[in-house]
Amino acid sequence: MKTLVVYYSRPDENYGVGEIEIGNTELLAKEIIKQTGADEFKIEPTQPYPKEYMDCVNQATEELKNQACPAYSGDIDLKDYDTIYLGYPIWWGDLPMVCYTFLEKHDLTGKIIIPFNTHEGSGNSGTYAKLREKFPTATFKGDGFAMTGHEARTPDGIAKLNTWLKTL
């Protein structure tokens, strides 16, 4: 059985880091892939989120309020994977709704899920507990890994990620 890194990450204008070409969570995801040899699935919303930070915040607010699950492009069959690293930024104290689109579309029964996230102050914001509750047939391994987005862009941040990876 194989390992997969599934993540959503948004480039463009973001909080505290300005205009970026590669999202903060994606930097962590790529390092996990490099270290573990895992396969990759990046959740790409069919309709990309706005490039301007405030426009994105407004859209995310609406989606969360309406519990609207936006579509994403492509997909991956999870049957060959037993371990899934799940990466996301914190949006309004939660996962971006597009991540729920992915999670609810797939059967996570028996999968080992290892969550990681970036944020700018909220930590994991209770999302690890929420995921455990929402997907009780999956097995959650470890305590997860939460890092500020700006730190994820530094060598020190990547070193901390690697220290965590070794604990798993």
Ligand X SMILES: Cc1cc2nc3c(=O)[nH]c(=O)nc-3n(C[C@H](O)[C@H](O)[C@H](O)COP(=O)(O)O)c2cc1C
3-class DSSP state of 16? coil
Name the strand (E) or helix (H) holding 140. Answer: strand 139-140
Question: Contact 3/39 with Cβ under 8 angstroms?
Answer: yes
CB of 82 to ligand X, least distance (A): 25
Structure tokens belonging to residue 16: 């505290």
Quick check: 118 binds ligand X (CB under 6 A)?
Answer: yes
Looking at 30-38, 113-121, 130-138, 160-168, which segment touches ligand X (CB under 6 A)?
A: 113-121
Q: What is the bridge-based pairing of β-strands 112-119 and 139-140?
A: parallel
Structure tokens belonging to residue 65: 């309020």
d(CA 122, CA 76): 30
Quick check: 14 binds ligand X (CB under 6 A)?
Answer: yes
Residue among 109 and 154 whose Cβ is closer to ligand X = 154
Site size toward ligand X (CB under 6 A) is 23
Looking at 66-74, 97-105, 120-128, 155-163, which segment touches ligand X (CB under 6 A)?
A: 120-128
114 alpha carbon, distance to own chain's centre: 10
Looking at 69-77, 115-123, 137-145, 158-166, which segment touches ligand X (CB under 6 A)?
A: 115-123
Using CB under 6 A, list all residues that contact ligand X. 9-10, 14-15, 23-26, 53, 56-57, 60, 89-93, 118-122, 149
